[in-house]
Amino acid sequence: MKNVKLLVIVTNFSGNNEIKETGVWLEEFAVPYLVFKDTGYDLTVASPLGGLSPVDEGSMSCSNPMEWDSCIKILRETSRLSEIDYKTYDAVFFPGGHGPMFDLTQDLLVKEIVEYFYEKNKIISAVCHGPAGLVSARNKEGESILKGKKVTCFTNKEEHIVKRDEAVPFLLETKIRELGANFEEAAPWSEHVCADGNIITGQNPQSALLLAEKVVSALE
């Protein structure tokens, strides 16, 4: 089996007046990253600006597994996305955290990359708020790549529970429904993953491991 190259795209956004501290939700990066690493994938972690991808303080805990510490170090020195030859990769993964809602949704290079992966039928995966990186992408007919697809993400109910529904620029579930996706949700904080064609999405942090396993299975 050839060596699989997987591109992980993370946020640079750390906060503003509405949302004081945010970034990547550590579990949603660390759990899949370690699964992919243990599987033997060639991994690149990149962000629009390169350098620091901030970790949401809310996801930092003394009860986190020690191996996640190495993942925090990786997020401090991400590659600049514009310096990556994305066409050489077999799959792309977007971790969540509220950060992607603010920068990845409107990044033109992210849009270009997702559209390329969709056209080439390569794996596109995202968890929690990670699908924010997919909302701008269109197919050759000019329609959302999510139209008619089974998709999930951090739900409106979950957003309301964490009291961030007024702080985000839009509600991701609402946006995905507006794009014509067949949105699926499970109860708040329960494990839930949708796989439809080459698009694999997970609902929340609790879905990070299952999402990673689905990506590995799809790449076998």
pLDDT digits (tens, 9 = 90+) for 82-137: 999 999 999 999 999 999 999 999 999 999 999 999 999 999 999 999 999 999 99
2: confidence class by pLDDT, cuts 50, 70, 90: low
Mean pLDDT, rounded, of the chain: 96
Q: Into how many domains does the chain fold?
A: 1
- Report the predicted TM-score, pTM, of the whole model to 2 decimal places: 0.97
Separation of first and last alpha carbons in the chain: 8
Q: What is the CATH number of the domain that holds 168?
A: 3.40.50.880
Instruction: Give dist(CA 47, CA 45) in Å, integer.
Output: 7
pLDDT of residue 79: 98
Question: What residues make up the domain containing 210?
Answer: 5-219
Q: For residue 9, what pLDDT band results from cuts at 50, 70 and 90?
A: very high
Query: Which three-class secondary structure state does DSSP give residue 36?
Result: helix
Pairing of strands 150-151, 182-183: parallel
Reported as type and span, the H/E element at residue 55 is none
